[in-house]
Amino acid sequence: MLVLRELLQALPPVRAGWVENVAAMPTDSRVAAFAFGRSVGAIETACLLSAVPVQRVTPQAWKRAAGLPAGVPKAASVETALRLLPGCAPYLTRAKDHGRADALLIARYGLSVT
């Protein structure tokens, strides 16, 4: 959390931190659901401690804005991020970078609505 806070403070003024409005999956164990919730809370806390207001966005909203149809494989996020944000290609070199791609597409969504 401290690293995220330091990063946020080092950047030019940030208007908002966009966080996907998610919940634990019904198939997750209690331990996994708790850890997931703590991670989301840590991100929100780092933003708030850095005076960055937190905005939530549903997966459906940011995916629609990126042109990702429902039910596409995770690799589609990487392909879409590479097409829409080609400057981010060095950060999207591995198949498992779909989480980074999602984060970039959420940030792009946030910029488009603020």
* Domain extent listing, the chain: 1-57, 60-114
φ/ψ (deg, to 5) at 71: 80, 5
Confidence (pLDDT) at 2 = 65
Strand partners, 18: 55
Q: What pLDDT does residue 1 have? A: 55
Q: Give me 17's structure tokens.
A: 């931190």
What pLDDT score was predicted for residue 7? Answer: 75
Spatial separation of the C-alpha atoms in residues 67 and 79, rounded to whole Å = 11
DSSP letter (8 states) at residue 54: E
Q: Could you list the pLDDT tens digit for every one of the 114 residues in the chain? A: 567 777 767 778 878 899 999 888 889 899 998 998 999 999 899 888 888 899 999 999 999 999 999 889 999 999 999 999 999 999 999 989 999 999 999 999 999 997
Partner residues linked to 19 by β-bridges: 56
Give the pTM: 0.83
